[in-house]
Each structure stands twice: as C-alpha cells, then as structure tokens.
Amino acid sequence: MTETDRRVAVVTGGARGIGAAIAERLAEGGDRVVLWDYDEEAAEERVESLRESGHAADYERVDVSDPDAVERATESTVASFDRIDVLVNNAGIAGTSVPLWEQSVEDWQDVIDIDLTGVFLCCKYVVPVMRDHGWGRIVNIASIAGKEGNPLAAPYSTAKAGVIGLTKSLGKELADDDVLVNCVTPAVIETEILEQVSEEHLEYMLEKIPLDRPGQPEEVAAMVDWLCSAECSFSTGAVFDISGGRATY
C-alpha cells in the first residue's frame, strides 16, 4: 500500500483502552492512525509501540472539549496528510458514581463536555474534510448506559444518550455524501476506565450481562473496524450493540 492509498484514521482517546485497541486494529489493516489524546505521555508511548510493529502512526495533543484545540488538530492532520477518511470518537470519562442529587455541577459538566460535546466538536470540524473528499466513515463510541440509563451515572448515561441521538441525526444529514455515521453501545469493557467507578456500580453493571463477563477492547475494535470499512455501505445513523446480551432493544 502506498502512502497515497493509505487511509487516514483519527481515533480520539486512542492512547488507552478501547481507543488503543481500535487504533491497533485499523493500523493492522493498513490505515495511518492519528491519535488525538490529551495524555501526551501515554499517546507517545502508544505511537512508538505501533511504529515498532511496523504501522504508520502519529499523535496530536487534543482536549476534545476545547473547540480551538479540535479545530487546530483537524487543520494540522489535514496539513500533514491531506485528508481524514475515518473518525472514531472514543474519548470519554466515566465521572463519579453518586446519585444525581449529589452530583456536583462541575462533575456533571466535565462528563458532558468530554463525552458529548467532544463528539460534536470532532464531527463539526472533520465532517467538512470528509465531504470535500466525497467519502468518510464516522463511528461514535456510545454505551448501553445511553439506552438504559445506569443508576449512579446520570451524567454519563445522559451524555451517551446524546451521542446516540447525534449519530442518528448526523447520519441522515450526510446520507447523500457517502459519509456514513454509526455508533456502538458497549456494556462493561475491561479497561482502565473501570477504575473511575465504584465497586458497587461495577457489580451492578456486570450482573446484568447474560454472558457473565466483561467485554474485551479487541471485541469492540473488531466491530468498529467493519463500520469503518467500505464493506459497511448500507448502514448509517445506526446503533450496534456489543453488550454480552444485555441490550433489550
């Protein structure tokens, strides 16, 4: 594959967890992956690991909740590679595990800013690039919490419900542009983000999974990989469950 043929895939929050697994999967398929992540040290380590495996990988330090930062990262990525073919909006935080009435305004806003507004901003600035090139694939990482609403996680559940709604709306808006927009709704996936939630909340989520185990990042990455591909040609504005049987609709 020549550099001209190689797709450019942006993965937000690509330094760890689900994002890292997605970046590796896309890189293995021949994409040049560009990690947009706030954690500079972790992202640089991930890029180095990908390069040592023979993959094309780069990094932009980005706070996805900052419009100026997202706009700069978009401009920088396009200046370097002339395109963005794939956008995976994965960056997110879990927030605190407390009842809604005990949530601080600051904690609520942090989750909404990163988990929902971050998706909006990345789409806002990347979509015009994809439309100009006449092709694109966007995959948003939502959550089963956005469909069912997890107790002790009102900000997170609200943000992820918003990501589902954004996906459905944007998918319809881009239907004539060959830019397809879909989202996935994982249940518990075994990543570092679980360290942010209480043991009680984790136990609640796990006991609702019929397969009786957490999912693995590589399982999510496999689904996302197909949604980013040209083979995914008749799905847009859709929600794909990867919940171990938890999802009921």
Q: At 92, list the tokens.
A: 């997110």
Specify whether 125 is catalytic: no
Among the listed residues 38, 59, 125, 156, the single catalytic one is 156
Measure the CA–CA gap between 209 and 214, rounded to whole angstroms: 8
Kindly list the catalytic residues.
Answer: 156
